Chains A and B, each alone.
Chain A
Amino acid sequence: SAVISQKPSRDICQRGTSLTIQCQVDSQVTMMFWYRQQPGQSLTLIATANQGSEATYESGFVIDKFPISRPNLTFSTLTVSNMSPEDSSIYLCSVWTVGKDEQYFGPGTRLTVT
């Protein structure tokens, strides 16, 4: 399976600010995903990061709040904009590769908004 890293691993931010989370994979992958896990909850997909085109967002998530970039096949960023305490969550990236039909996850970024 791919080795996936995320930066930062955790952060404490003030409301109204923005944080950019990075996801790096050690090999080229077809698709990258961003999930949110609110405290004590399951994972919910935010968006699919497409290389060379705009991300595809799930219902309830918008580009202005969660802009995503994917400049190449091994890297993606998720920005959480104009943060509020409700954005306190774990944010995880995952990757999918053609022929594998499995998703592997990064270690996650724990965000706390005060």
Chain B
Amino acid sequence: AQTVTQSQPEMSVQEAETVTLSCTYDTSENNYYLFWYKQPPSRQMILVIRQEAYKQQNATENRFSVNFQKAAKSFSLKISDSQLGDTAMYFCAFMKQGSGAQKLVFGQGTRLTINP
């Protein structure tokens, strides 16, 4: 079974700073996907970024980028030039790659607060 661990329950930074959220996972699978989801107080789960395990290049989406270390089973999220609207719970998630849909396995979440 896969497990996902987020070791930072809460983080807080000033607006415009850069912040990095940590995530580690455990799996025996070789082909999989990793995701970061954002859940603001509205509770809507929003997909922030995804990484395919077979790709060595780290994924980037505007101010969001990841540091994917497959051997270390580490998948951190970096938010640059943080904005007030980035305040939310952030969940790291793992999904096996296979025929048909696969379930998401989530970490415990990190509550990120961006202060003005």
Q: Taking beta carbons and an 8 Å cutoff, which residues of A are in contact with B?
A: 1, 30-31, 33, 35, 41-45, 48, 58, 90, 92, 94, 96, 101-105, 107-108, 110
Q: Are B103 and A30 in contact (CB under 8 A)?
A: no
A/B pair count, beta carbons within 8 Å: 54
- Please report the C-alpha to C-alpha distance between residue A96 and residue B98 in the assembled complex, in whole angstroms: 13
The 5 closest A-B pairs by CB, nearest first: A31-B101, A105-B45, A96-B101, A42-B106, A108-B43
Interface secondary structure of A, over-half rule: strand
Of A1, A45, A90, A110, which is within 8 A of B103 by CB? A45
Q: Are A42 and B91 in contact (CB under 8 A)?
A: yes
Chain B residue numbers with a CB within 8 Å of A41 are: 108
Cβ of B11 under 8 Å from chain A:
no
Q: Are B44 and A48 in contact (CB under 8 A)?
A: no
Interface secondary structure of B, over-half rule: loop
Q: Are A33 and B103 in contact (CB under 8 A)?
A: yes
Q: Are A92 and B101 in contact (CB under 8 A)?
A: no
Q: Are B45 and A92 in contact (CB under 8 A)?
A: yes
- Please report the C-alpha to C-alpha distance between residue A1 and residue B46 in the assembled complex, in whole angstroms: 11
Cβ of B33 under 8 Å from chain A:
yes
12 interchain pairs, CB-CB under 8 A: A1-B47, A31-B100, A31-B101, A33-B103, A35-B104, A42-B106, A44-B106, A48-B103, A103-B95, A103-B101, A104-B47, A108-B43
Within 8 A of A (CB), among B18-55: 33, 35, 37, 42-47, 50
Chain B residue numbers with a CB within 8 Å of A110 are: 43
Q: Are A101 and B33 in contact (CB under 8 A)?
A: yes
Chain A residue numbers with a CB within 8 Å of B104 are: 33, 35, 43, 45, 94, 103
- Please report the C-alpha to C-alpha distance between residue A45 and residue B101 in the assembled complex, in whole angstroms: 13
Q: Are B100 and A107 in contact (CB under 8 A)?
A: no
Chain A residue numbers with a CB within 8 Å of B42 are: 107
Q: Are B97 and A101 in contact (CB under 8 A)?
A: yes
Q: Give 16 A-B pairs besides A92-B45, A94-B104, A105-B37 with Cβ atoms closer than 8 angstroms.
A: A1-B47, A30-B100, A31-B100, A31-B101, A35-B104, A41-B108, A42-B108, A42-B109, A43-B106, A44-B106, A90-B43, A101-B97, A103-B101, A107-B42, A108-B43, A110-B43
